[in-house]
Amino acid sequence: MDGRIASPGRRRIQPDAPAAIELRNIDKHFGSVHANRLVSLQIKQGTIHGIIGENGAGKSTLMSILYGFYRADAGEILINGSAVTIRSPAEAIALGIGMVHQHFMLVENFTVLENIVLGAEGGPILNRGLAEARTAVDTLKRDYGLDVPAGALISGLPVGLQQRVEILKALYRQAEILILDEPTGVLTPKEADHLFAVLRKLRDEGKTIILITHKLREVMAVTDSVSVMRKGELVKTLDTRSTTPAELAALMVGRSVNLSATKSHRKPGRCVLELREVSFTDAAGVERLKNVSFALHEGEILGVAGVAGNGQSELLEILSGMLRPTAGHIFLHGQSCLDLTARSLRRRGVAHVPEDRQHMGLVMSFEACENIILGYHDSSKYGAYGLLNRHAVIDDAKKKMHAYDVRPHLPLLRASLFSGGNQQKLVLAREIDQHPDVLIVGQPTRGVDIGAIEFIHQRLIELRDRGKAILLVSVELDEIRALSDRILTMCNGLVVGECTPAAAESAISLMMAGISPDKAA
Amino acid sequence: MNRRADLPWWADYLLIPLLNLAAAFVLSAILLIAIGEDPLAAARIIVEGAFGQAEGLGYTLFYATNFIFTGLAFALAFHAGLFNIGAEGQAYVAGLGVALVCLYLDFLPRPLIFILAAIAAGAFGAAWAFVPGYLQAKRGSHVVITTIMFNFIASALIVYLLVNRLSPPGSMQPETRTFSPRARLPFLHDVLAALGPSISQSPLNVSFFWALICCVLFYILIWHTKLGYELRTLGANPMAAVYGAMSPPRLVMIAMMLSGCLAGFMALNEIMGSQHRMILDYTSGYGFVGIAVALMGRAHPIGIILAAVLFGALYQGGAELAFESPNITRDMIVLLQGLVIMMAGGLEHLFRPNIERLFAMRRPSIAGAR
């Protein structure tokens, strides 16, 4: 793939050797959440194996089980063909498993070398251990091209180098199996390319590498085989060479229940919300949105499809006034609304159903009635002179909970005691009942039972039929296609293309993988 | 606050505080037995000393007044998710404000002096809390660190002022002159004597009623105003506060100033109501004990009043105990009080996980149940 790093001496692996890692029917529950469902997987020695899936698909849980952070409820782990029990990371390390975490586990004010020997100092006299380590680390650095200044402090190193220290740490502990959890999340593209070169070299030396990621580009660039996880299940394991990004995207997003939302044909009206060249760079310097432009009209549902984490969350927060774009313009009813706070945006009829209702849309320790006024509490109907009229709040909550069939019908019950679907109905009742002109919705049916899904979809379509504009962000492709009048697809912060809901699923999958329709044609 | 989501109210508000208290008493009893004292006899002396006669009760409520103010101060910031450890310094600086009014404006009509002194107490306390609040809101410096530091700055500032500026000419005492009788809050025994019944003397003064009024105002603010709603939202879920179109920096500053204001009112009780002059270290730890009072009182005014009376009784009854039994020294009393503070404040979560597990076993599914 990359001529520079083609290794001359790729180690021979016996064809009949047992798999380096074999997982048999791994099952894990966290309370009511089924994080891993009977996952079985074989990974051959000397290969790079990708595990992809969306956030919450169960990838990290599976790897944490392999690394001894969690214990599976059921199932077996075999390393090089023999069954093992891994009760702690220490036991995993003893079995030759190393892990590079998404958030580095390094001591910032220690040197590189001190971090590498940390926990493996080899006796109470530190200097001797450090001297031995220095030689060993020098060899490792030379062998794998992992160049890091051994005496430098971690805090002074760029993240790319910090990651190399993590890899060296694992190799110093004689890891034969290396697990990397979302390794490129913090890296620049150039740093990522270097990482891949290192990984290939490690593989050629006979190490087995597991790469957890949700980026298709990486899977295609560096892995030999790939497993797709969705909702705790291992959906499929494929040979990387014989698959395509579009196929992987389709497998990741999956098909949910057959959604049959019926909606009348409508001609969209005037443009209410327009984005021009909106970009956003986060505090870490990563560009999350790149020149996003689109228009949202009265009486239409504009769907935004894409694999989670490709800029949709930032888009939602910018449109609701919680984040400020770093560049570009946004117009509401033809007027620039960049300087408006979240409060004044709400007053001008922009309502927001956030993606994460438990951490953003609701205060879980508050009563339902207190949640029903969140964001609208300063309205005079909930009390004058800065006072909060509890009777008015409870009456309002009763009405809304009745209209949206929130069960149990108890305005004084804490939000945390409602089911996911009823929590979502609380949020929707609050936002839709303010009669907004524009509704920004993120993942309206995530974690919601089927009955509630149908109810929520009907409410969204009703709102559209009343001539209101809805921006719908969802990772459920079927939901987007069932509800939207037009579909935008995002990948890597870019709007890759626009299509109608009638477009073929394969076309949308291609766009979700970042391949624009004109390029594909 | 979120962690106690799944306990019935009575377990949270009664069972756990009483368990903590019981544990403190058991530890104290062991300690007393170890030095050869009878814990039951000691307990009797404490209870009788604190509640036995009007004088003891007066002292108990006098101390409780301080604890109500500092307890409310901590609780208010706590509702907004802030740990204001600086009530000590805020009350100390507020003492300066009260003293300035009482020293230099004592020619005004008496009601006006009282009002101005209360305003000065609140404003000086609020101003002292504003700086840490501002630093947290705008610069991200944690209030736990800055309020502690501000306690020391307050201490140094007041020492300087009392030694170099405010002590009367010719005096070697680091304190102001005694206020004129017009600028003193009436003692309760004087008020009652004017109305008829006569009780024995104690420093209990009318600021006790102001403390009770503050409890009512606190309740209204936190649970029946929009500002209180915003403060609680910030404390329970800062992300929801941003989503709900609130301004966390503004709320942090408001919460800290209100908290400092409440802490400052303590100066009315001590400086204007009892000492009648500004003295060194008059706060003597009331600000810190307020943390335990607020935690034990579950940041609710009723709970804070009960906890404040309990700590007031420990202070007063403890003093009686030290006086009555030669074996139990003043330091021993501090140790006993420390045990209660430790169990009610520092180790507030000692029994909670077990209690929660117990309730989880009893009710396997609570979804939808009321």
pLDDT of res. A32: 65
Quick one: which of A93, A23, A88, A89 has its CA closest to A58? Answer: A23
Average pLDDT over residues B100-108: 94
Q: Does B6 score more than 70 pLDDT?
A: no
Burial track A44-81 (b if 16+ CB lie within 10 A, e otherwise): bbbbbbbbbbbebbbbbbbbbbbbbebebeebebbbbe
Q: How far out from the chain centre does Cα A7 lie?
A: 34
The residue type of A505 is E
Asked if A377 has any chain B CB less than 8 Å from its own CB, the reply is yes
Q: How far is CA A215 from CA A184, A201, A440, A442, B241, in A?
A: 9, 21, 26, 21, 32
Asked if A342 has any chain B CB less than 8 Å from its own CB, the reply is yes
Nearest C-alpha of chain B: how many angstroms from A377?
7
Statement: B38-324 belongs to CATH 1.10.3470: yes
pTM value is: 0.77
List the single residue in B229, B237, B246 with the smallest CB-CB distance to A388: B229
pLDDT of res. A241: 92
A341 band by pLDDT with thresholds 50, 70 and 90:
confident
Q: Does A211 score more than 50 pLDDT?
A: yes
| Cβ contacts of B2 on chain A, cutoff 8 Å | 364-365
Domain boundaries, chain B: 38-324
Asked if A364 has any chain B CB less than 8 Å from its own CB, the reply is yes
For residue A420, give the chain B residue with the closest CA. Answer: B367
The model's pLDDT over B193-215, given as tens digits with 9 standing for 90+, comes to 888 888 888 999 999 999 999 99
pLDDT of res. B235: 96
User: In chain B, helix, strand, coil percent, each to 5?
Assistant: 75, 0, 25
| Cβ contacts of A374 on chain B, cutoff 8 Å | 233, 240, 243-244
Q: Inter-chain contact B370–A410, Cβ cutoff 8 Å?
A: yes
Average pLDDT over residues A452-474: 90
pLDDT of res. A3: 38
Average pLDDT over residues A374-393: 92
The listed range with the strongest mean pLDDT (A150-154, A210-214, A337-341, B224-228) is: B224-228
Count CA atoms within 13 Å of residue B171 on its CB side. Answer: 14
Q: Does A426 score more than 60 pLDDT?
A: yes
Q: Please tell me what DSSP assigns to residue B175.
A: S
Positive or negative torsion for Cα A511, A514, A515, A517: positive
β-bridge pairing A97-100 and A177-181 = parallel
The model's pLDDT over B56-88, given as tens digits with 9 standing for 90+, comes to 999 999 999 999 999 999 999 999 999 999 999
The listed range with the strongest mean pLDDT (A10-14, A342-346, B271-275) is: B271-275
pLDDT of res. A398: 95
Q: Does A8 score more than 70 pLDDT?
A: no
Average pLDDT over residues A206-234: 89
List the single residue in B225, B237, B242 with the smallest CB-CB distance to A387: B225
Q: Which two tokens stand for residue A61?
A: 């849980």
Helix (H, G, I), strand (E, B) or coil at A496: strand
Q: Does A463 score more than 80 pLDDT?
A: yes
pLDDT of res. B2: 34
Q: Does A280 score more than 90 pLDDT?
A: yes
Average pLDDT over residues A473-482: 85
The residue ranking higher by pLDDT, B337 or B105, is B105
pLDDT of res. B5: 45
| CB within 8 Å of chain A, chain B residues 229-248 | 229-230, 232-233, 236-237, 239-240, 242-247
Average pLDDT over residues A229-253: 87
Q: Does A49 score more than 80 pLDDT?
A: yes
pLDDT of res. A260: 58
pLDDT of res. A508: 85
pLDDT of res. B368: 36
Residue with tokens 């597991």: A210
The residue ranking higher by pLDDT, B355 or A298, is A298
Q: Does B129 score more than 60 pLDDT?
A: yes
Average pLDDT over residues B335-345: 84
The residue ranking higher by pLDDT, A21 or B327, is A21
The residue ranking higher by pLDDT, A334 or A285, is A334
Instruction: Answer for the pair A229, A33: CB distance below 8 angstroms, yes or no.
Output: no
Q: How many helices (H) and strands (E) does chain B have?
A: 17, 0
Q: Inter-chain contact A374–B233, Cβ cutoff 8 Å?
A: yes
pLDDT of res. A7: 43
The model's pLDDT over A61-96, given as tens digits with 9 standing for 90+, comes to 899 899 998 888 899 999 998 999 998 888 999 999
Residue with tokens 């579009």: A246
Q: Is the ipTM of this complex over 0.85?
A: no
A351 band by pLDDT with thresholds 50, 70 and 90:
very high
Q: Inter-chain contact A414–B5, Cβ cutoff 8 Å?
A: yes
A283 band by pLDDT with thresholds 50, 70 and 90:
confident
Instruction: Answer for the pair A108, A165: CB distance below 8 angstroms, yes or no.
Output: no
Q: Check residue B83 and give left, alpha or beta (phi > 0: left; psi -120 to 50: alpha).
A: beta
Structural domains in chain A, CATH included, are 19-243 (3.40.50.300), 255-349+436-521 (3.40.50.300), 364-434 (no CATH)
Q: Which two tokens stand for residue B264?
A: 């400052």
Q: Inter-chain contact A352–B229, Cβ cutoff 8 Å?
A: no
Q: Does B365 score more than 60 pLDDT?
A: no
B90 band by pLDDT with thresholds 50, 70 and 90:
very high
Nearest C-alpha of chain B: how many angstroms from A382?
9
Q: Inter-chain contact A370–B229, Cβ cutoff 8 Å?
A: yes
Residue with tokens 């040197």: A111
Q: Does B1 score more than 50 pLDDT?
A: no
Q: Please give the Cα distance from A65 to A26 (Å, whole number).
A: 9
Q: Please give the Cα distance from B99 to B177 (Å, whole number).
A: 10
Share of chain A above pLDDT 90, in %: 39
B48 band by pLDDT with thresholds 50, 70 and 90:
very high
pLDDT of res. B185: 93
Q: Does A487 score more than 90 pLDDT?
A: yes
Nearest C-alpha of chain B: how many angstroms from A346?
8
| Cβ contacts of A387 on chain B, cutoff 8 Å | 220, 224-226
Burial track B114-132 (b if 16+ CB lie within 10 A, e otherwise): bebbbebbbbbbbbbbbbb
The CB density around residue A431, as the number of other CB atoms within 10 Å, is 23
Asked if B225 has any chain A CB less than 8 Å from its own CB, the reply is yes
Candidate from A117-121, B34-38, B122-126 with smallest mean pLDDT: A117-121
Q: Does A467 score more than 50 pLDDT?
A: yes
Angle (CA) A107-A113-A117 rounded to 5° is 80
A399 band by pLDDT with thresholds 50, 70 and 90:
very high
Q: Does A145 score more than 80 pLDDT?
A: no
The model's pLDDT over B133-168, given as tens digits with 9 standing for 90+, comes to 999 999 999 999 999 999 999 999 999 999 998 989
Average pLDDT over residues A111-118: 87
Q: Does B363 score more than 70 pLDDT?
A: no
| Cβ contacts of B244 on chain A, cutoff 8 Å | 374-375, 377
Quick one: which of A295, A349, A299 has its CA closest to A320? Answer: A349
